[in-house]
Amino acid sequence: MMLVFKLSRFFLIPLTSNLFLCNERDELTVRVEKFIKDVNLFQIKPDFKYYGIGDWRDDKHVYVFMMSIPEDLDVPEKFQKTVFPGGLYAAYTSHPLDFGDMDITKNWAKSSEDYEWEDRHMQLEEFFNPYNAYGIRKVNDLEYATFLLPIKQLKEATT
């Protein structure tokens, strides 16, 4: 039996973001929740985007969360305000959330004749409905995510 996965390609627009870096995912979740509450993010930017990024720094795996914020928002010194450049991505939504599904976009990019992985950064995980997780305090309610792999088009797509 052959499994067919629905994979999309789309462009993410640039956005001003706040980066959170930490060695422990649970600690990072607490810091994210505190930031959202302290700046009242649901009120000042109710459409904010929320991403996770697995990354390596100094040969150690670190967790990075990134969220869109208003351009004029001052962030505490311990965080990093940056501009996310956006770009073209291959996307696959995993529901229920299974981090093993991250390989679907990577394998697609390896086998594609029209696109390849673009080394702008690691793969993103876009978490949906952060309001459920942080607004109404159902902290583990991030049930699905879209895995986003930065890609570049090699030639006009045939599929």
- For residue range 108-126, list pLDDT tens digits in order: 888 888 888 887 667 788 8
Q: What is the pLDDT of residue 4?
A: 42
Kindly state the tokens that stand for 60: 């150690």
- CA distances (Å), origin 29, targets 6, 45, 89, 90, 105: 30, 19, 25, 26, 26
pLDDT band at residue 89, thresholds of 50, 70 and 90?
confident
What's the pLDDT tens digit per position in 65-83? 888 889 999 888 778 888 8
Co-location of 67 and 95 in the same domain:
no
* Domain edge (last residue) among 52, 84, 116: 84
Tell me whether residue 124 is in a domain.
Answer: yes
Number of domains in the chain: 2
Give a yes or no: residue 104 inside a domain.
yes
User: Could you tell me if residue 75 is inside a domain?
Assistant: yes
Coil/strand/helix, residue 45: coil
Question: Do 78 and 112 belong together in one domain?
Answer: no
SS3 79: coil
Query: What's residue 142's pLDDT?
Result: 55
pTM of the model: 0.73
Structural domain span for residue 35: 16-84
User: What pLDDT was estimated at residue 3?
Assistant: 39
Q: Do 94 and 158 fall within a single domain?
A: yes
The lowest-confidence range among 12-16, 57-61, 113-117, 119-123 is 57-61
Residues 71 and 123 occupy one common structural domain: no
Res 61: pLDDT: 67
Residues 6+ positions from 2 with CB-CB distance below 8 Å: none
* One domain for residues 98 and 59: no
How big is the CA angle at 122 (ends 104 and 156), to the nearest 5 degrees?
60
Pair 53, 112 in one domain: no
